[in-house]
Amino acid sequence: MNLPRLKIGKRASSHPDNFMKLMDPVIEDDPAFFDQSHFHRMLRLERMRTERSKKPFMLLLLDISRLIETTQDIKIVDEVKTSLNPLLREVDIRGWYHYNKIIGVLFTEIALMDKTFIDSVIHKIYDRFHEKLNPFWINNIYISYHVFPETNQELSAGVPFNLNLYPDLAKKGLNRKLSLIIKKIIFDCAGSAIVLLLFSPLFLIIAAAIKSTSHGPVFFRQERVGLNGKTFLFYKFRSMTTNNDPLKHKEYITGFINQPNTAAIEPGIFKLTNDSRITTVGHFIRKTSLDELPQLINVLKGDMSLVGPRPPIPYECDLYHIWHRRRLLSAKPGITGMWQVMGRSRTTFDEMVRLDLKYLQEWSLLLDLKILLMTPKAVISGSGAY
């Protein structure tokens, strides 16, 4: 879209905090204009409503930080709001997305979100600003728009989640920053390196057994979806014959995800255990979860963690409901996790997702430690293998 004077982009710009709260009186005089924390709460509520209603919404961001740094004029926000307000409906929500930097507007209750609607909104704002605002101001306002939910096609194609739609999760991540650093250095990097070193003789034995009993590579490589929807190459020991059609597994996963009240009938949930394509060695390493050991390489590479939600195959994400997608946010996928160690191998997919979301909500280093300590027992009993 070519709008010559109003800067349009996919992502709002960011600038240093050097404007000294000149606009506080303006905000206080406009009760319909929310502060940053309340606006973020409203954005979170709109995401939850969309998960239930399936009605999309659009987040519009007006980055005025460069303008404020240039002019430091108290009238800027008041005039931008005065120009914008006549274009908004009562159900639309406005406020600070980023205090003294970015104004946010939530366009809600939209029956159909398409390019025509988006173009209409942007052009109306563009025309209104040119009627009411100083041309210099207009050239220093940056507009971006973000639609929720993102399409399954975008996510399955490896397009990461748009984090502009999840500022509350970004804030939570900052609050956990020190703990996450400890997790990465001590749990993931040091822990996976030590385990790889200790189990290196076992790696060689398994590799030799695979090569001597079936044709094909030692490792099975597969694209998986990780943190914020980014894809990565996932490693396991090969337990099946080569050149297999994934259709049978797709059919099984489709039935499991699309029947929310039906528990998995396979002991491994996401593995087809009663499958003629599984080799003799494959049966053993699946039953003992030894086929998962190469995922320690993924942990060392930074794609995974020792503890976290299970990384799905892209075609699984095509089947996700909107609320299922939250399990891909906030944490890297893990080799083990909450539902794997709770003996829930015969559970429904929705229950498994709720356990992942519970883990994300309650995450702590202590919780990760508890899950790691519970994992050997779950593997031995077979209840946590997948």
State the pLDDT confidence band at 157, using cuts at 50, 70 and 90: low
Per-residue pLDDT at 189 exceeds 90 = yes
pLDDT at 383: 53
Lowest mean pLDDT among 70-79, 163-172, 211-220: 70-79
- Average pLDDT estimate for 111-128: 88
Q: Say what the pLDDT of residue 228 is.
A: 86
- Say which residue, 134 or 218, is predicted with more confidence: 218
Range ranked top by mean pLDDT from 98-107, 174-183, 251-260:
98-107
Lowest-confidence segment of 5-9, 108-112, 347-351 by average pLDDT: 5-9
Give the pLDDT score at 344: 54
More confident position, 254 or 72 = 254
Strands 7-8 and 57-63: unpaired
The pLDDT value given to residue 28: 43
pLDDT of 301 > 70? The answer is yes
Is the predicted pLDDT of residue 367 greater than 60, yes or no?
A: yes
What distance separates the 2 farthest-apart alpha carbons in the chain? 77
Residue pair 161/228 in contact by the 8 Å Cβ criterion: yes
Domain ranges of the chain: 7-149, 170-381
246 or 331: whose pLDDT is higher? Answer: 331
pLDDT at 218 over 90: yes
Task: Please tell me the predicted confidence (pLDDT) of residue 134.
Answer: 86
- CATH 3.30.830.10 for domain 7-149, yes or no, is no
Of 9-13, 32-36, 130-134, 369-373, the least confident: 9-13
Q: Is the pLDDT of residue 275 over 60?
A: yes
pLDDT of residue 343: 61
Residue found by looking up tokens 């280093």 in the block: 365
What pLDDT, on a 0 to 100 scale, did the predictor assign at position 159? 60
Residue with token string 């973020």: 40
Could you tell me how many residues make up the chain? 386
What is the rounded average pLDDT of the residues 228-237? Answer: 93
Tell me which of 12 and 44 has the higher pLDDT.
Answer: 44
Q: Which residue has the tokens 């050997």?
A: 376
